[in-house]
Amino acid sequence: MIILRSSPPSPFGRQVKIAANILGLYDQLQIENANTTDAEDSLRQQNPLGKIPVLITANGKILYDSRVCIEYLDFISEYQIIPEGEARFDVLTL
């Protein structure tokens, strides 16, 4: 199971959820609410910046910044939304 620390209103968290859906990984995602304003939330141990989204991989690796989370999901999926070569930069810019 992959854990996504996020919050429903977060547009960055939403991007990761959409990517997981397109990549066929949404069912493997356990979404755990995070409160960025709560100093006691374990979020700050996971991401020293206190920002969401944070992705915790099945191996317990902690990734943050939505771009990194999406790139990881793209890496483990049998599908791809981030192509290789020149087109890669167009997609990353988008």
- Which residue, 46 or 66, has its beta carbon nearer to ligand GSH? 66
Interaction between residue 66 and ligand GSH (CB under 6 A): yes
- Which residue, 54 or 86, has its beta carbon nearer to ligand GSH? 54
Tell me the longest C-alpha to C-alpha distance in the chain. 43
**Distance of alpha carbon 70 from alpha carbon 59, whole angstroms:** 17
Q: Which of 36, 44, 57, 81 touches ligand GSH by CB under 6 A?
A: 36
Q: Quick one: angle between helices 66-76 and 11-22, nearest 10?
A: 10
Single-letter amino acid code for the residue at 21: N
Interacting residues with ligand GSH (CB under 6 A): 10-12, 36, 50-53, 65-67
